Amino acid sequence: MMMDEAGRPRGTASRAMALLLALVPLLLLLPAPTASAADPGPGVAVSRQQAGKGGDITVSGTGWRPGALLMLLICGQATPARGVIGGTNACANADGRAVTTDSKGVFSKKMPVAEPPKPCPCVVHVATVTGEQTAVDAVFAVAGHPTAPLPSATTGGRLAVLAATRLEGDSGVLVFFGAPPSRRLEFTVGNLGSAPVKDPVFQVGTSHGVFAPQWEEQQWRGTIEPGRKVQVELPVQLAAGAHGDYEISVKYGTKVIVAQPWGVGRPWGVTLFWVLLAVVVPAAVFRIGMAVVDRLRPRGGGRHRTGDLTVRLPVLRLPGTRSRGGTPPAPTAAGTTTTTALPWFTPDSAPSENRPTTKGHS
């Protein structure tokens, strides 16, 4: 038997080489590791599993989108498996905190412990504010806060939108001056399941631009039997002074069933008010200033006044002249007119045209 340099039979070495070449295509056909195995997704952890009101905890997370803006809330009536059942109405919104992830999608934020409006079980709810909506819940217990079992999940009923949605109503005059715009969102839903749906709870959200919708829970009163359809009306209201392009979304359970755009005009009345205010206020200040100056400046143009003393001078008329108003001198009882002599010269020494005065002559 012929041997190779390593002392092995040459036939065995050739068979091993052939087997290796045959396995190469099979290795190429094996599936590559998926991204989900390497990237488990966003995660949240809390420094303490339980704390009382007035304390604080540190919430940290990894695997989030780099530079994402997140909202941290303590919510009641929630579990990581079912999420926050009551929506953001079940959270302590006033004590929430916002944080932005770093370039690696990591964050760490200290937040106060507050009691949510709903009973526990509670979670620390972390959700994105901008971009694609993502939410993760971490178990947390608020010490001293009441607890209650979660409401039973609705099974058997399945709602679906059967007709186009529309916004009904119009804006009043006050909306032109910045009042909150409001509409009624109307849509038709049908029960495609096998069990009736009683008093379904919808979540209505409004979004503007790149911001994620802020959900608000609204309950519709009534029962939808299997195979039946009903028209649902839900009130929608924006913030005061809102304008631009908005989108109204309705979610039932975990599925968004309605997305309706809403274009809101700019409240030009507010702009008109500020323009008038910029014109009227300076004019009023100028008028007040002029009134003050007019009251404080001296009267009479600098002349000397002697109080209420009034000096009356006698009216002097030359013989044979009329008064300024054209009325002749009053006649006397004898039918003759009387004249008043000038006080500084006698009638025979009065100047005339034939006899010039002697003023200036020696």
Q: What pLDDT shows up at residue 362?
A: 46
Residue 115 has pLDDT above 70, yes or no: yes
Q: What pLDDT shows up at residue 33?
A: 46
Closest CA to 166 of 48, 248, 241, 49: 248
**Average pLDDT, stretch 68-72?**
92
Please state, in angstroms and rounded to a whole number, the distance separating the CA atoms of residues 237 and 250: 14
Closest CA to 229 of 180, 160, 132, 127: 160
What does the mean pLDDT of the chain come to? Answer: 78
Stronger pLDDT, 284 or 39, i.e. the higher one: 284
Reported in sequence order, the residue ranges of the chain that DSSP labels E, i.e. its strands, are 43-46, 50-52, 56-62, 69-75, 78-79, 83-84, 97-100, 107-112, 122-128, 135-143, 159-161, 166-168, 182-191, 197-198, 201-208, 214-219, 223-224, 229-237, 244-252, 255-264
Please state, in angstroms and rounded to a whole number, the distance separating the CA atoms of residues 235 and 296: 61
Q: State pLDDT tens for residues 289-344.
A: 898 988 888 876 555 554 454 555 555 555 555 555 555 555 555 555 555 555 55
Q: State pLDDT tens for residues 24-56.
A: 555 555 554 444 445 578 999 999 999 999 899
- Rounded to the nearest 5 percent, the helix, strand and coil shares of the chain are 20, 35, 45
Residue 123 has pLDDT above 90, yes or no: yes
CA distances to 167, 185, 216, 284 from 159, rounded to whole Å, are 20, 17, 19, 62
Burial 14-26 (b: 16+ CB within 10 A, else e): eeeeeeeeeeeee
Please state, in angstroms and rounded to a whole number, the distance separating the CA atoms of residues 69 and 128: 6
Q: What pLDDT shows up at residue 226?
A: 86
Helices and strands counted in the chain (H then E): 4, 20
Closest CA to 230 of 261, 197, 183: 197
Please state, for a pLDDT cut of 70, what percent of the chain lies above it: 70
Highest mean pLDDT (candidates 144-148, 224-228, 326-330): 144-148
Residue 223 has pLDDT above 60, yes or no: yes
Residue 208 has pLDDT above 50, yes or no: yes
Stronger pLDDT, 341 or 165, i.e. the higher one: 165
Closest CA to 82 of 134, 143, 151: 151
Q: What pLDDT shows up at residue 267?
A: 84
Which amino acid is located at 212 in the chain? A
Question: Are 235 and 169 contacting, i.e. CB atoms less than 8 angstroms apart?
Answer: no
**Average pLDDT, stretch 81-106?**
88
Please state, in angstroms and rounded to a whole number, the distance separating the CA atoms of residues 216 and 206: 9
Q: What pLDDT shows up at residue 10?
A: 55
The token pair that represents 350 in the structure block:
């009065």
Please state, in angstroms and rounded to a whole number, the distance separating the CA atoms of residues 230 and 198: 12
Please state, in angstroms and rounded to a whole number, the distance separating the CA atoms of residues 127 and 205: 14
Q: What pLDDT shows up at residue 243?
A: 84
Q: What pLDDT shows up at residue 314?
A: 57
Q: What is the pTM of this model?
A: 0.47
